[in-house]
Amino acid sequence: MAAKPGILRRKAAHSLKMKRAVQLLFYKRHWEPGVKGWELRRRIGSDYPRVLDLLNDYLDRLGLAVKTVYEEEASPPQNPTLEQLDKAKFYVALKETQTAGEQKLVGWRIDDLAGLAVSLGYIISQGGKTPRKDVEDLLKEKLPGWRVDINLNRYLRTGYITEDENGLFYLGWRTRAEVDQRKFVDLLLEASETKKPVNAGDTVSPS
């Protein structure tokens, strides 16, 4: 039986809105990627949460997901209101975690990535802020000094870390969007020093 014209019209409208949402979410329009909820509402309409749900279902099949970062970072709402959604920021991120061999695909050397992990792990363990010098000292234990400077500047530039005028490091917007902090710290504490806790069979070598 043929679908009713009303349903077809609605499907076509949703399809158009999903295309618009893809353009807004994938392409960087400002300095930072991602798009605010109010911006989506203005471009797509007040039913943008529904459109994002549909898009999420579609992206799921491709190993991607729409990631929502709420303003109330410490306690993200379970059932967000429209106002909370409007203030939240939406990104598209890889749904699956990467295998050790794949980090090259996103342009990271193994020691740069480890430096990032150490910096973030240390900041998280210190309650979300720590003096720059402490992070530098920790990184210098295993990385040459010149490399530490380059790496920290890269983490700052890309938004993983922010620094205030007192030289204190905080977690940046990108960490909030990309890193599952709880999982990361738990995995770190579970890791055994003798056994390699990465995915079995992965080979990692510094490039």
Partner 1 sequence: MATAKRPETLGREELRRIIETCLSVEAKGLNPFLVNVEGLVSVIKQFFPNWSDPDELCLDAEALNQIASVIKMQSEWIKHRATSLYRDPFLVEEKLRSLPIESIAGIFENAWHPLVELEQVTMGSLEAALRYWTELTPLDERWRKENLLLTDVSPTSREELIKQGVLLSETFTTELEKLWEELKTFETNKEGKIGYWDFIGAETYDGTVKRAYLTSFLITYGYADLEVHPLEEEIFVRPYKEQVSKGNVATFSFPIPISFEEWNRWRQNRES
Query: Per CB under 8 A, which of residues 15..54 are in contact with partner 1?
Result: 26-28, 33-34
Nearer to partner 1, 4 or 135 (CB): 135
Q: Which is nearer to partner 1, 53 or 164 (CB)?
A: 164
Query: By CB under 8 A, is residue 94 in contact with partner 1?
Result: yes
Contacts of 120 (CB under 8 A, 6+ apart): 160, 161, 171, 175, 179, 181, 184
Two structure tokens written together for 128? 């979300």
Does 179 bind partner 1 (CB under 8 A)? Our answer is yes
Applying CB under 8 A, among 56, 122, 147, 149 the residue interacting with partner 1 is 122
Question: What's the closest the beta carbon of residue 100 comes to partner 1, in angstroms?
Answer: 5
Helix (H) or strand (E) holding 35: strand 35-36
- What per-residue string of b and e applies to 81-103 under the rule 16 or more CB within 10 Å gives b? eeebbbebbbbbeeeeeeebeeb
By C-beta, is 36 or 95 nearer to partner 1?
95
Whether the CB-CB separation of 162 and 76 falls below 8 Å is answered with no
Instruction: Give the separation between CA 134 and CA 141, rounded to whole angstroms.
Output: 11
Does residue 100 bind partner 1 (CB under 8 A)? yes
Minimum gap (Å) between residue 26 Cβ and partner 1: 5
CB 118 within 8 A of CB 130: no
Distance CA 118, CA 135 (A): 8
CB of 2 or CB of 106, closer to partner 1: 106
Buried-exposed string 151-177: b where 16+ CB fall within 10 A, e elsewhere: bbeebbeebbbbeeeeebbebbbbbbb
- Number of residues interacting with partner 1: please give it, by CB under 8 A: 67
When asked if residue 149 is in the footprint of partner 1 (CB under 8 A), the reply is no
- Contact between 191 and partner 1 by CB under 8 A: the answer reads yes
Quote the least distance from Cβ 131 to partner 1, whole Å. 6
Binding residues for partner 1, rule: CB under 8 A, are 26-28, 33-34, 64-65, 67, 74, 91-95, 97-100, 102-103, 106, 110-111, 113-118, 120-122, 124-131, 138, 141-142, 166, 168, 174, 177-189, 191, 193, 196-199, 202, 204
